[in-house]
């Protein structure tokens, strides 16, 4: 891998940028790998990268049915934060936030991580009590957070409607200054390029159609490019995890639903932070290009169509227009949906399964992007040692049978 630098940019400008090395190879699949990762999104690529970098396991294939980072990695609203309520969740997400801080240097790829702060608004007294509880829990866990009142929110976001006469007035917010946004595509591409540089094979247009087992242990996968052998198969397939599990007769505590987002036409800088509201179900930030990036809720029912219901978008936009009346005249450019894997306790599953050599990293639901580096890091450990990383251990599949759920629903400003 040739390193990107200011000097290389200058050098390639002399040849009109026509001779850049491809960011990764497009190899033919080998017959056998030490580890096969199913799913070439951010989490899968991060897993491959850390497997190679931290654990020295490089005989790895990432199988992607479409193109790299074309699923939920390309469809989210790129928010990064770690202000989760429970110890287990805050450890995992804060581990991820730590990795985000040096990720561009580590990958030699600009992921445009911008710590512009995240506001989670409160609209009634109970919201504010929950926010205080969560901020206190965060601070005990070493995660920065403060509780703001209406005036302090207005100071950070001058365009917000601070009238107390609206249906859901802004009574205050939690503020995590270290939160922010990153460039979603760059995250996938950076991890892909990094993994490829260690010799990981990234195989696109290769759909896994079956998982082959012998005597309760994985021996490989059947794909649209033929059989590929491996004793370890790791599914990082988000919304399609239920389909993958069904291949070996397993069921997961997951339901797949479309989650929508939309962007406006580019406008001048107007919001330099991330504003989220769980109660009215809207969140907004502004990309470097100038578009307002707006997230909506999930559909209420299961669905694998990568589009959502219109009334969900309408609901979100009415909330956005109440919070930011001036946005009522902004035109929306594009809207799309991604299929998210929602778990009953809104926490991920990073786990072994009852099938030997079959691992799942799924259930991130509506908030997986922020966890991309951390998820890959701990899952790589789980794969390499066949034993959960300490941060991943509470997120095993067993918890749904033991009852040790990590109930982050609503409690953590999780936007659904």
CB 402, min distance to another protein, A: 6
* Among 28-36, 148-156, 253-261, 265-273, the segment contacting another protein (CB under 8 A): 253-261
242 touches another protein (CB under 8 A)? yes
336 touches another protein (CB under 8 A)? no
Q: How far is CA 373 from CA 49, 73, 81, 182, 290, in A?
A: 10, 12, 13, 12, 26
Rounded Cα distance between 204 and 198, Å, is 18
**CB nearer to another protein: pick between 365 and 373:** 365
66 touches another protein (CB under 8 A)? no
Rounded Cα distance between 409 and 416, Å, is 9
Short-list 120, 135, 198, 123, CA closest to 162? 123
246 touches another protein (CB under 8 A)? yes
Task: Count CB atoms within 10 A of the CB of residue 72.
Answer: 25
How many residues of this chain interact with another protein, rule: CB under 8 A? Answer: 25
**CB nearer to another protein: pick between 254 and 317:** 254
Structure tokens at 230: 């491996």
CB 259, min distance to another protein, A: 15
* Among 38-46, 79-87, 297-305, 406-414, the segment contacting another protein (CB under 8 A): 297-305
CB 347, min distance to another protein, A: 12
Rounded Cα distance between 30 and 315, Å, is 49
**CB nearer to another protein: pick between 116 and 307:** 307
**One of 29, 70, 169, 253 touching another protein (CB under 8 A):** 253
153: left (phi over 0), alpha (psi -120 to 50) or beta: alpha
252 touches another protein (CB under 8 A)? yes
Residue pair 112/289 in contact (Cβ under 8 Å)? The answer is no
- Contacts of residues 241-246 at CB distance under 8 Å and 24 or more positions apart, as own/partner, are 241/341, 241/360, 241/362, 241/363, 242/341, 244/38, 244/208, 244/211, 244/360, 245/353, 245/360
Residues between 337 and 366 with contacts to another protein, criterion CB under 8 A: 344
* Among 3-11, 16-24, 235-243, 327-335, the segment contacting another protein (CB under 8 A): 235-243
Rounded Cα distance between 295 and 298, Å, is 10
**CB nearer to another protein: pick between 3 and 311:** 311
Helix axis angle, 42-55 to 372-385, nearest 10°:
50
237 touches another protein (CB under 8 A)? no
Exposure b/e, 335-352, CB count within 10 A at least 16 = b: bebbbbbbbebbbbbbbb
**CB nearer to another protein: pick between 77 and 353:** 353
**CB nearer to another protein: pick between 206 and 275:** 206
Short-list 99, 97, 142, 92, CA closest to 395? 92
Q: How far is CA 295 from CA 79, 175, 336, in A?
A: 10, 19, 10
Give the up-direction half-sphere exposure of residue 243: CA atoms within 13 A in the CB hemisphere.
17
**One of 3, 16, 17, 251 touching another protein (CB under 8 A):** 251
303 touches another protein (CB under 8 A)? yes
CB 251, min distance to another protein, A: 4
CB 412, min distance to another protein, A: 20
Residues between 355 and 414 with contacts to another protein, criterion CB under 8 A: 400-403
Tokens 């991920």 correspond to 348
**One of 163, 302, 328, 333 touching another protein (CB under 8 A):** 302
**One of 243, 249, 326, 328 touching another protein (CB under 8 A):** 243
**One of 309, 316, 375, 396 touching another protein (CB under 8 A):** 309
**CB nearer to another protein: pick between 168 and 400:** 400
**CB nearer to another protein: pick between 112 and 250:** 250
Residues between 149 and 188 with contacts to another protein, criterion CB under 8 A: none
Structure tokens at 252: 């997961």
Short-list 345, 332, 178, CA closest to 255? 345
Q: Which residues contact another protein by CB under 8 A?
A: 240, 242-243, 246, 251-256, 300-305, 307, 309-311, 344, 400-403
């Amino acid at each position: 891998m040739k390193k990107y630098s200011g000097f290389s940019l200058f050098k390639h400008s002399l040849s009109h940028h026509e001779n850049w090395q491809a960011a990764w190879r497009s190899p033919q699949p080998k017959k056998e790998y030490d580890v096969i990762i199913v799913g070439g999104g951010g989490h899968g690529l991060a897993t491959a990268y850390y497997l190679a970098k931290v654990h020295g396991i490089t005989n790895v294939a990432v199988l992607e049915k479409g193109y790299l980072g074309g699923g939920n990695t390309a469809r989210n609203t790129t928010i990064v934060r770690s202000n989760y309520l429970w110890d287990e969740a805050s450890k995992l997400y804060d581990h991820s936030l730590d990795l985000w801080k040096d990720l561009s240097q580590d990958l030699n790829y600009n992921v445009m991580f911008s710590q512009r702060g995240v506001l989670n608004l409160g609209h009634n007294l109970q919201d504010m009590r929950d926010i205080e509880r969560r901020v206190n829990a965060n601070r005990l866990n070493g995660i920065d957070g403060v509780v703001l009142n209406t005036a302090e929110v207005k100071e950070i976001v001058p365009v917000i409607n601070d009238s107390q006469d609206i249906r859901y007035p802004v009574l205050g917010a939690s503020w995590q200054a270290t939160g922010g946004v990153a460039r979603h595509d760059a995250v996938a591409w950076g991890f892909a390029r990094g993994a490829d540089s260690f010799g990981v094979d990234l195989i696109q247009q290769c759909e896994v159609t079956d998982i082959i087992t012998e005597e309760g242990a994985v021996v490989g996968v059947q794909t649209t490019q033929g059989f590929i052998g491996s004793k370890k198969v790791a599914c990082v397939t988000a919304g399609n995890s239920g389909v993958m599990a069904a291949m070996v007769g397993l069921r997961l505590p997951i339901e797949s639903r479309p989650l929508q987002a939309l962007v406006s036409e580019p406008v001048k800088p107007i919001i330099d932070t991330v504003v989220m509201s769980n109660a009215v179900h809207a969140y907004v930030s502004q990309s470097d290009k100038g578009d307002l990036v707006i997230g909506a809720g999930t559909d209420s029912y299961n669905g694998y169509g990568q589009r959502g219901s219109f009334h969900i978008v309408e609901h979100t936009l009415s909330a956005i227009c109440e919070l930011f009346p001036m946005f009522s005249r902004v035109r929306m450019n594009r809207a799309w949906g991604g299929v998210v894997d929602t778990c009953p306790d809104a926490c991920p599953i990073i786990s072994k399964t009852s099938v030997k050599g079959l691992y799942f990293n799924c259930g991130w639901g509506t908030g997986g992007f922020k966890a991309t580096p951390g998820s890959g890091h701990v899952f790589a450990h789980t794969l390499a040692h066949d034993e959960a990383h300490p941060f991943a251990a509470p997120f095993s599949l067993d918890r749904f049978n033991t009852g040790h759920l990590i109930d982050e629903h609503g409690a953590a400003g999780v936007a659904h």
